A and B are shown apart, each in its own frame.
Chain A
Amino acid sequence: MAPVPEIELRGVSSLRGGFEALSDVTLSLQRGETLFAMGGSGSGKSALIKTAAGIAVPARGEVLYKGKSLARLSAREEAAFRKASGFVFQDAALWSNQSIYDNLALPVRLHEPTWGKAEVERAVRRSAELVGYGQDLRARPAELSSGERKLIGLARALVLDPELLFMDDPTSILDEAAAARVPEIVDSLKARGRSMLIASVVSEFASGCADFVAVLLEGRVAALGAYAEAAAWTDPLVRGVTGRLRPRAAVPAWEGGLAGAWVSAVAESPAPAGESAASEGDEDGMSALGDIINDVDEGKEKP
């Protein structure tokens, strides 16, 4: 019997401003898999990611999380789904009337109500350092550059170390160094068995972490298959998208190495008591973020 997919879309169509942004999309993502949604502007990538994450409600069809329709989740199940998933918005979508600290702390306060102030602060600082943000956490989003806001958006999605990630064009509006950092973070998340649905126009990003590629054309899935097979797709419109797939070597590595500061921050501070209480063994909880970084920095072989 096939395992229940982490996330599954069945015949999903969605409307945006009166036209069909997604049309009869069916796809699934198993635990630990990474699916790259590719396509040009207006092809429906954002609509796909938002519908899969339950942010947009489908006009037809249904989205299932671990076999259960998102539309029929109880309040408790929905809270569990939100805690277990993170979403990176194309334009960061930070809460402009809150400080960077509060932007990162809100999901923690919401889903870990028993954590004390110190534990929340530790989680916030770790996620900020994970994405390489070392500026003032009391700043407001308007005081940051668009690239910094995007990184904080990524940090917010990672602050609870979710098992399922939805990323809508995570490398857009980032400078070169930051854009190189994101694939490293994604690689490390994959190494930790996280499931990811990523929409991106940067094709090099897919190599090394994508298990599957879906090509979207005018809201329809024109091609769906293993990343390794994508090069063999012959449809000219599909090849117009997959023809840009190149190995990651074309992307310069982040010179600073992935969050060296992060490792030192972890070394400086002992793990909070609530951290182990909140996590189940070493697999979940904020400690997992430290492992992600250690895996990468020490050059461990990925499973």
Chain B
Amino acid sequence: MLDRMGRAVIKWLDEFLYALGFFAQVLKESALLFRRRQVGFRVLVMQILFTGIEALGIAAAMALAIGAAINLIGSSLLAEFGQGKLMYTILIVVIARELGPLLTAFIVIARSGTAIATELGGMAVGHEIEAYVAVGVNPISYLAAPRFLGVVVSMLVLDVYFNIFGLMGSFVVVQLLRPIGFDEYFRSLFAALTPGDLLSGFVKSLVFGVIISVVSLYRGFSVERSVTEVPVAGIKAVGSSFMLCILADVVMTAIQYLG
């Protein structure tokens, strides 16, 4: 029993260290991306297009609905305590600090995390990654680095977009319940906004982008021989990304409020 547990821990540690080494390689190749001859600019552009641009619709719809829901719940609850003015602070805290980065991460995991893991897994099974090595293309530089940068940049952009639409959704509900001017609404909103809110959203989006891209790339490259490994890689990429993003979110929130 103890022996089996020891082996499991060693295996886990081994995989963890390997994943850390992979992460370091991806970081290094991403930093060198624009200096290399074999730059995957096209891959980078396509990744930003897929992860950032094509997800705008679903991100906007989700953000509008969430913004509206927060306003509906908040305005009725806060009114009971005579704290209606706190609505703007709550909107900023919930959307910009918490839900914006997290829900954007969930969208990116569902769309791009699975796509990256299964695409690379399929390439591994078809020996396409070996073919890149054979002709002298570094797969980390050509396949991983552009996807890594593409996902991270898209996460940052999508988060800003989500925040804007979330606050817009709230504004729509305000117009239905207690119509106020566009100027007044956004002036109050900006008055409640602090640099810490913006920094918090930015850092969370950055960390989530790194987690999603590295986990998905790692799972994709882990596929070895069988096509049945490909969907498994996709599922593992989603599961691990969700878990790590939520864990990172809790840690970062704790640092913000307890630190």
Contact = CB atoms under 8 A, between A and B. Distances in A.
Which bucket holds chain B's interface residue count? 10 to 19
Contact of A93 (B37, B128, B224, B225): B128
Contacts of A156: 131, 135
A107 B136 contact: yes
Given A17-B224, A17-B225, A113-B37, A106 B128 contact: no
A85 B128 CA distance: 17
B136 A91 contact: no
A110 B128 contact: no
Nearest to A103: B131
Interface in B108-138: 122-123, 126-128, 130-137
A107 B137 CA distance: 8
A78 interface: yes
A79 B136 contact: yes
A110 B38 contact: yes
Contact of B133 (A55, A91, A95, A96): A55
B126 A110 contact: no
A45 B127 CA distance: 16
Interface residues of A, number: 24
B189 to A, nearest CB: 44
A53 interface: yes
A87 interface: yes
Contact of A96 (B38, B128, B132, B137): B128
Given A93-B128, A96-B126, A96-B128, A110 B133 contact: no
Given A95-B128, A110-B38, A113-B37, A53 B134 contact: yes
A82 B122 CA distance: 24
Given A17-B224, A110-B38, A89 B137 contact: no
A94 interface: yes
Most central of A83, A95, A111 by chain B CB within 10 Å: A95
A140 interface: no
Interface of B: 37-38, 122-123, 126-128, 130-137, 224-225
Closest 7 pairs between A and B when the two form their complex, measured CB to CB: A82-B136, A93-B127, A87-B134, A93-B131, A107-B135, A55-B130, A55-B133
20 contacts: A17-B225, A50-B130, A55-B130, A78-B136, A79-B136, A82-B135, A85-B134, A87-B134, A87-B135, A93-B127, A93-B130, A94-B128, A94-B131, A95-B123, A96-B123, A106-B135, A107-B136, A111-B136, A156-B131, A156-B135
